[in-house]
Structure 1
Amino acid sequence: MTRKTKPSTAAAVQMPLKEAEAGKETNCDEDKPSDHPKERDNNVKDNDGTKPAAEWKLPRKKALLQFRCKLEDAIRGDYLLGRSYWSLSRLSRENMSSASSQPLPLMDIRLWGVPLLPSKGHEGTDYVLTKFLKARNYKVGEAFEMLQETLWWRRQHRVDETTGEAPLGPDELVLRTMYVRSVDREGRPLCYHVYGALEDREVYKRALGTKERVEEFKSWAVQFMERVARRLSFKDGGVDSVVQITDLKNMRSRSAKEARGVLRSTFLMVQDHYPELVHRHIILNVPLWYYTFHLLLLRLLHQSDKSKFILARPAKVTKTLLKFIDPEDLPVEYGGLLRENDEEFSNLDKVSEVFVGGNTTKSIRIPIAEAGSTVVWDLTVVGWDVSYKEEFMPEDEGSYRVTLNRSKKLRESVRNSYYINEPGELVITVRNPTFKKKRVLYRTKFKPTVPMYVFFKS
């Protein structure tokens, strides 16, 4: 008679990895991560621009396997956090009043909603571990230490206990400074940190006026990042990173001392405890003082994180963002076509573009064959500094030309509409008095309309 033995830890950890390489699906319906609401059909690659994890070369696959084994042993051996997890639980229970805030057993420990125990077979575990490996150049020991430090940091700041609290901050201040809106071309969520909301002196004092307020503001940033992380999809073909956009408009050097501290702590927090979750940092409306601050900041960052920063002066904001974001997904305040609670257009409406050379004029002609409808249009110009005019030219030579918008200098995105009572064409004229070529982005939409005078007929 032969005795049945349990598989070793290495074998238990290796089995899901082999199944993934063979193209088999793992049953993970119980812990399936939530998808992003606008997940695009893209071949998701790891953030360093290399092949997907399934196509890695042997050294990286070996590093992932070693990391899985090391983590499995640490969880089952109850030394993941350096000392007995249950003794930590008893200490934490003394400081926590509610039973719901007590920590989970170590076997059930999660990060960003994904179980960390590799033998559970959750498809998101490898994606989470891979991010720590990338952040430490696939050195297993350093990646394991980074994971330990992240778990300790989360317990110290009670991240899992405070994430579900609402509201995020008082007087909707945080909702104006930190929010997620739309996605980039690869479907990554765009996370905005807009410090222009702190321009008002009273608002600034209320947010960052004291040390306690500064620490509270930092905790809001942690909550915001945690909620964003839990919206990601750690699975094959999912979106597992974000684009962080920091707008420094109206931030003056004298009054930005506390804000600089918040910026520094936010960047370091993301680097140390949310590795590879930010695909790119885009800093907008960069003032002169920020360049010195940035040089000092780079000394504290790892090499892989330094390359993720893109700085844009005020004149280059729209041009920089359009390199990574479609115009229909870029808010109008940054020169795009996305408006909040838009009832006319969606991000599925096609956007056309034309180029206007230096010292030239370009006319965009939109033919209208039938009457009885309203034409709506959006238009923006990258770089502004152009003059703009709108006219309706009827097909009947006996009818009058209608001037909808007289020539004016364009400084913001334009939306207008016109009820068509006879065939003709809408003519939008853009004159570029500068020497640089300008990019014009626009879209149109026709909708059937009943004229108002019909309702007043007796």
Structure 2
Amino acid sequence: MAEEPQPEAAPAAVAATTEVAVAEKAPVEAEKEKKVEEETPAVEAEAKEEKKDEAAAAAAAGGDEAGAIEGTGSFKEESNLVADLPDPEKKALDEFKQLIAAALAACEFNLPPPPPPPKAKVEAAVEETKAEETKAEEEPKAEEPAKEEEPKAEVAAAAAAPPEAGTEEPKAEASSEEAKTEEPKAEAAADEPAKEESKAEAAPAEEAKPAEPEPEEKTVVVTEEEAATKTVEAIEETVVPAAAAPAAAATEEAAAPEPEVQAAAAPEPVLIWGVPLVGDDERTDTVLLKFLRAREFKVKEAMAMLRSAVLWRKRFGIESLLDADLALPELDSVVFYRGADREGHPVCYNVYGEFQDKDLYEKAFGDEEKRERFLKWRIQLLERGILSQLDFSPSGICSMVQVTDLKNSPPMLGKHRAVTRQAVALLQDNYPEFIAKKVFINVPWWYLAANKMMSPFLTQRTKSKFIFASPAKSAETLFRYIAPEQVPVQFGGLFKEDDPEFTTSDAVTELTIKPSSKETVEIPVTENSTIGWELRVLGWEVSYGAEFTPDAEGGYTVIVQKTRKVPANEEPIMKGSFKVGEPGKIVLTINNPASKKKKLLYRSKVKSTSESV
């Protein structure tokens, strides 16, 4: 998971399922490698099932299986100086800049504002309001006959008593009054169809204008009885405003976002990794060339990739993520930056064997929330590395070397798989051309076999960036690209944290000890000084001793370290020091009785006596 869009496995695809966290892949070979990545699980399953056959094939193709090294690592970075570009690439860069300027003017790099209700939604809301109004109208209409009957019954009862009178009338008068009340009832019955008709006319009017209550509706129902009129009016007053409210709200909602849209339309300055996309900044060309090279100078595809990357960074919250405390110090030993290669590229190490610790594995991938945090941590580490380690000036170092240790990596299938694939996709799509080389070490034989199978699907540019080394060749392979003083002790080098005696500025000398032979190293020393040295033989199983021989004739040789056999499980580095009072030399003797050659690393430092006190 370190600094570049690189997929999970060996040749950009196989590693995907083998590496636990994120073995990134250069996004240069985008679409072809995406296809490879999708085929990865099937390939790996097949590699496992036909393990023996693959082993034989790998041995036949690579010679000694234990020491096989795959991949040429022949990739050479192109110049970022515009003057050095071929004419077609210059033309593509100019066209790319024009597209970016047009996109900035059109605010294509701005995140859209919070989406206002789309037109379809507003229309749907209006239709829904109409439906509600219609339904609300139908309900009171259905209830009105029953409600009107009640007032009629009351009228009939009231007719038994003389209006404005508190005493009872004679029964004869009552019967005559009943006869009279029958006439109003007949009239009311005759009036009802007219009422229904007027309501039917009012309904279409309401549908045409759902947000505007019709003033006539309050007087649509007219009866002689005050009670009946009040009841109908009360129902309509409740229905009409309630129905009008949603329509008004929908209209306001549709109108409200307009100022927001206008505010969002203002162009924003766009920077990526602290570099502006337009202007006179010399670093701009370097960044734009990354996207162009990732898409083989196809300008429209590069533009689509850049736009997508900028919008993703805003959605993902890269700026705020840089300062976030994700509380994962335990992962410092899983992915870390250390030193530089022989060309000055920073080196990022991915050590997935650390996840053998079950507690650490659970803390990183135990549940969805933890996996999401791990992904943020990985992106944060990459972003910080880019800002602190890389220089986007045309002549600067703007890419890095990835070293992925596959020793004791977790199984291909596990809780980490989903987040690994997600991280690979993000790195591939949003971090183009950030990998100068990708070195896989301690690679198992079946991985090399799978790499051979997948190799035909990869572009030459991708294949030229990847190097695969078996356990027996891992340290030696690293030293081809990274000086031993820069390589951590755990990977075969001499770099140690907080070493009080030696630093990365103290160069290491490499020697090869032939089989069944002896190698001597002479370190000259001056009078009144202290000499210090350290050495390492990869795999040891040799004899080692040190002595001081004075320059003066007749001087006595002083044994500094008695010769002894050093087993393979010995401390990786031997240290020694000697205080001398006369000029002479320290002689280190290493005897290799084995039938295989050995790699010897050593360095020394002379201090004056005053310095050593």
TM range (shorter): 0.7 to 0.9
What is the distance in 2 between the residues matched to 1:89 and 1:108?
22
Q: 2:99 aligns with which of 40, 51, 70?
A: 70
Q: Is 1:127 aligned to residue 283 of structure 2?
A: no
How far does the alpha carbon of each residue in 1:119-141 deviate from its partner, in whole angstroms, 9 at most, with x for none?
x2111111111000000000000
SS at match of 2:300: helix
The structure with the greater share of residues assigned to strand is 1
Report the AA paired with residue 56 of structure 1: L
Counterpart contact for 2:321–2:380, Cα < 8 Å: yes
Give 2:312's aligned residue: 153
Cα offset, 1:89, TM superposition: 10
Q: Is 1:181 aligned to residue 338 of structure 2?
A: yes
Report the AA paired with residue 498 of structure 2: N
What is the distance in 2 between the residues matched to 1:216 and 1:191?
20
Counterpart contact for 2:516–2:592, Cα < 8 Å: yes
What is the distance in 1 between the residues matched to 2:93 and 2:601?
45
SS at match of 1:445: strand
Report the AA paired with residue 274 of structure 2: G
**What TM-score comes out, normalization by structure 2 length?**
0.57
Greater relative contact order (Cα < 8 A, sep 6+): 2
Counterpart contact for 2:80–2:289, Cα < 8 Å: no
Cα offset, 1:73, TM superposition: 0.7
Q: Structure 1's 201 and 355: CA in aligned 2 closer, same or farther, altered over 3 A?
A: same
What is the distance in 2 between the residues matched to 1:290 and 1:253?
13
Q: Is 1:87 aligned to residue 131 of structure 2?
A: no
Give 1:389's aligned residue: 544
What is the total number of aligned residue pairs between the two structures? 386
Report the AA paired with residue 169 of structure 1: A
Give 1:237's aligned residue: 395
1:258-297 map, 5 Å: 258-287=415-444, 290=447
Counterpart contact for 1:177–1:194, Cα < 8 Å: yes
Cα offset, 1:72, TM superposition: 0.6
Q: Structure 1's 402 and 179: CA in aligned 2 closer, same or farther, altered over 3 A?
A: closer
SS at match of 1:442: strand
Cα offset, 1:336, TM superposition: 1.2
What is the distance in 2 between the residues matched to 1:79 and 1:73?
9
Q: CA RMSD in A?
A: 3.2
Q: Structure 1's 104 and 134: CA in aligned 2 closer, same or farther, altered over 3 A?
A: farther
How far does the alpha carbon of each residue in 1:21-72 deviate from its partner, in whole angstroms, 9 at most, with x for none?
xxxxxxxxxxxxxxxxxxxxxxxxxx75444432111100000000000001
Q: 2:606 aligns with which of 431, 446, 451?
A: 446
Cα offset, 1:306, TM superposition: 4.4
Unaligned runs of 5+ in 1: 1-46, 92-102
SS at match of 1:121: coil
1:296-315 map, 5 Å: 304-315=461-472
Counterpart contact for 1:268–1:301, Cα < 8 Å: no
Cα offset, 1:367, TM superposition: 3.3
What is the distance in 2 between the residues matched to 1:142 and 1:132?
9
Cα offset, 1:249, TM superposition: 2.1
Counterpart contact for 2:399–2:436, Cα < 8 Å: yes
Give 1:375's aligned residue: 531
What is the distance in 2 between the residues matched to 1:153 and 1:293?
33
Q: Structure 1's 246 and 265: CA in aligned 2 closer, same or farther, altered over 3 A?
A: farther
Counterpart contact for 1:328–1:336, Cα < 8 Å: yes
Give 1:325's aligned residue: 482
Find the structure with the greater CA-based Rg.
Answer: 2
Give 1:44's aligned residue: none
Q: Structure 1's 436 and 443: CA in aligned 2 closer, same or farther, altered over 3 A?
A: same
Give 2:222's aligned residue: none
1:330-409 map, 5 Å: 330-370=487-527, 372-381=528-537, 383-395=538-550, 397=555, 401-404=559-562, 406-409=564-567
Q: Structure 1's 58 and 375: CA in aligned 2 closer, same or farther, altered over 3 A?
A: same
Cα offset, 1:75, TM superposition: 0.4
Cα offset, 1:440, TM superposition: 2.0
Higher mean C-alpha displacement, 178-187 vs 153-162: 153-162
Report the AA paired with residue 73 of structure 1: A
Q: What percentage of residue pairs aligned between the two structures are identical?
A: 34
Give 1:250's aligned residue: 408
Cα offset, 1:322, TM superposition: 0.7
What is the distance in 1 between the residues matched to 2:568 and 2:312?
49
Cα offset, 1:294, TM superposition: 6.2
What is the distance in 2 between the residues matched to 1:262 and 1:236?
35
How far does the alpha carbon of each residue in 1:331-353 deviate from its partner, in whole angstroms, 9 at most, with x for none?
12111121112222222223323
**What TM-score comes out, normalization by structure 1 length?**
0.75
Q: 1:141 aligns with which of 282, 295, 300?
A: 300
Counterpart contact for 2:356–2:408, Cα < 8 Å: yes
What is the distance in 1 between the residues matched to 2:437 and 2:276?
26
Give 1:115's aligned residue: 276
